[in-house]
Structure 1
Amino acid sequence: MMSPYEDVMTDSLDEEREQIREQKKRELQQRLENGGELGGADDGDSMATPSEPIEIDGQAHLNDIVNEHDIVLVDCYADWCGPCQMLEPTIESLAAETDAAVAKVDVDAHQRLAQQLGAQGVPTLVLYADGQPVERTVGAQSKGQLEELIERHSGSS
């Protein structure tokens, strides 16, 4: 028998999953309208790089994102974390302005995944290039530092 807390958590996770499904449907529809998966004309944006951070719902989802994009910046965060909240606008602008896909992992909701990513403190940022983790930083970083990090590894793809 579930406690009221577990019941609320299950409902919350179900709602989060539904939101993620809806977001994925919208992204797929948008991709189809723009001429296919990774094809289509390059209109200044990276072809299939989302312009908003992607909420990760588990290891398989993260694997899909890392395999789908050349450069992925993973933000391991917690809602209660002050530096994470300060970093949020930077994370959003990096998603919109760089060629990196930006993924967000809630360390409270996905403790095992955060552990696998090496997140011992928050925020922890892990940069993947060509499917491999290449950089890890802990603590709030400036937008310039993160842009430099992304740029340094963008040339390798």
Structure 2
Amino acid sequence: MTTDTASEASSATPDEPIHVDGQAALDDAVDAHDVVLADFYADWCGPCQMLEPIVEAIAAETDAAVAKVDVDVNQQLASAYGVRGVPTLVLFADGEQVEELVGVQPEEQLRSIVEHYTG
């Protein structure tokens, strides 16, 4: 390894959202990271597009991983988490679902909730 960032990559949270396809991929993300914010979204959803830069900032600037779940492709996964509308954000901490937020959230509020669990 030539740089510190390369050696830290295995334990560090990603600084970009991870696109998740299916329950196994979401489970892997939740298992791999202490805190995961799952963003259930749809490409056609205007509020989802408004939320996009906020979840990207959360991914880049906090210790939480962000998982993006397209509800049109992952209808069973969305149903398993009771997602009835988009955007829905589900926060996992230490492998457990701890928060669910429906609709566009202000960045400050979302950051505060995430930071509560990331310490």
Matching residue of 1:35: 7
Match of 2:102 in 1: 138
Q: 1:77 aligns with which of 31, 35, 41?
A: 41
Between Structure 1 and Structure 2, which shows a larger proportion of strand residues?
Answer: 2
Q: Secondary structure at the match of 1:35?
A: helix
**Larger-Rg structure:** 1
Structure-2 separation of matches of 1:120 and 1:106 = 13
Residue 35 (structure 1) shift? 2.4
Residue 115 in structure 1 maps to residue 85 in structure 2: no
Amino acid at match of 1:90: I
TM-score by length of 1: 0.70
Q: CA RMSD in A?
A: 1.4
Share of identical aligned residues, percent?
60
- Number of residue pairs aligned between Structure 1 and Structure 2: 115
Q: Structure 1 or 2: larger helix share?
A: 1
Q: Which has the higher contact order (CA 8 A, sep 6+)?
A: 2
Distance 1:36 1:78 in 2: 32
**Structure 2: which 5+ residue stretches go unaligned?**
none
When normalised by structure 2's length, the TM-score is: 0.91
Match of 1:95 in 2: 59
